[in-house]
Structure 1
Amino acid sequence: MLDKLIKYFAYATKGHITKIQLIRFLYLADLYSVKWTGKQLTELNWYYYHLSPWHQDINTALDKMNGKEISIETEYNTVLIKLGEKAKTIDDLQLPLSLKLILDNIRREWAGTGQDKIKELLDYVYTTAPMVEVKDKYKPEEKVKLNLQLEREKLVSELN
């Protein structure tokens, strides 16, 4: 599923997405899935690392797709995820409509260029329950597992 989500966000943004945005989009996709269904979309064990949600498997997946479905380029110290020669369409991914709606909401809300848009995204991610729990307790270089279930627990408590 990780590969499909990466492709979805690359295709949906027409290759106008930074690596920072992509990782946060993947985190939000898993987080929202846990929040509403209790289950993640991917099998990633998300970590707080260098002040952000992170997992090494994202880098591995990107490296594997580079030059095929996506193209990784660096411009002015920013890593961009662009469309590769073998990029297809969102429909080729055969994702359920309900999932596409969730992913498209993330893209619409947080995609865009410019430092202001990225800052808004980062600020939002830092307010999610898993990040709030760890961000002030650990050093940036420490890897700390994030508990995505905290977001679901927050929702349940708000609904009660």
Structure 2
Amino acid sequence: MDNINYAIRYLVLNYPYKDELSKTRLTKMVYLADWKSAQKHHTQITNIKWRFYHFGPFVNDVFKAAQKDSKLLVLDDFSMYGTVKKVISIKGKQNEASLRLDKLTLRECSILDDIINETKYLNWSEFIDYVYDTYPIKTQRRYGILDLISLAGEEKYNR
């Protein structure tokens, strides 16, 4: 199993507002964790090859991993606009040991905690603005690959 599964499990277990963990929000939180890891440690937590789609970072890897993970559930819910959204949650009464979160390093857990703390009080609009304000999204063209490690070095050089 790839770190993507453990990162998803960690975020789903520890994020305080479970009904907000939609497919899109969770994907963007994993992106933020990979970006922060690239900035701080020149490596991503996951092996995702991020792409800049219509308005921001998006890949199907996160949702596909959540769908395949026997420890997670993907449920249909409704957004505040009345549209269907996919919400990812922990299946049953799982704990850190059963979720095998010890596969994440302390450094990775710290980054995931930072992302939770930086975003948990942001409404959807504020959250999206936060994501879109990252260097890769502000500087790269749509529909291209986002090489987060190279972009973190570029951002540091351009400061």
Return 15-24 or 119-128, whichever deviates more.
15-24
Are 1:69 and 2:71 an aligned pair? yes
2:12 to 10, 26, 32: 10
Provide the rounded CA distance (Å) in 2 between the counterparts of 1:25 and 1:80: 14
2:114 matched residue in structure 1: 105
- Gaps spanning 5+ residues in structure 2: where? 79-83
Looking at structure 2, the residues matched to 15 and 52 of structure 1 have their Cα atoms a distance apart, in angstroms, of 23
Task: Tell me the alpha carbon deviations over residues 124-146 of structure 1, each in whole angstroms, 9 at most, x when there is no partner.
Answer: 11111111123xx44xxxx3211
Q: Which SS does the other structure have where 1:55 is aligned?
A: coil
Matched-pair contact (CA < 8 Å) for 1:31–1:40 = yes
Percent identity reads: 27
5+ unaligned residues in a row in structure 1: which ranges? none
TM-score calculated relative to the size of structure 2: 0.81
Corresponding residue SS for 1:54? coil
- What is the aligned counterpart of 1:81 among 75, 88, 97? 88
Check the 8 A contact 1:129/1:150 in 2, yes or no: yes
How far apart in 1 are the matches of 2:113 and 2:66? 20
In structure 2, C-alpha distance between the alignment counterparts of 1:47 and 1:86, rounded to whole Å:
34
Partner Cα distance (1:110, 1:104) in 2:
10
- How do residues 48-59 of structure 1 correspond to structure 2 at under 5 angstroms? 48-59=52-63
Query: Which residue is 1:145 aligned to?
Result: 145
Q: In the alignment, does 2:95 pair up with 1:93?
A: no
Seen in structure 2, the aligned counterparts of structure 1 residues 21 and 33 have a Cα distance that, compared at 3 Å, is: same
Q: What's the CA shift string for 1:29-78, capped at 9, x where partnerless?
A: 1101111111111111100123221223223211101xx31111121222
Q: Across the two proteins, how many residue pairs are aligned to each other? A: 147
User: How big is the alpha-carbon RMSD for the aligned residues of Structure 1 and Structure 2?
Assistant: 2.2
- Mapped contact 1:5–1:26 kept (Cα < 8 A): yes
Task: Give the TM-score normalised by structure 1.
Answer: 0.80
Contact in 1 for aligned 2:27/2:63 (Cα 8 Å): no
1:40 aligns with 2:49: no
Alpha-carbon spacing, 1:20–1:111, altered in 2? closer, same or farther (3 Å)? farther
Q: Does 1:119 align with 2:125?
A: yes
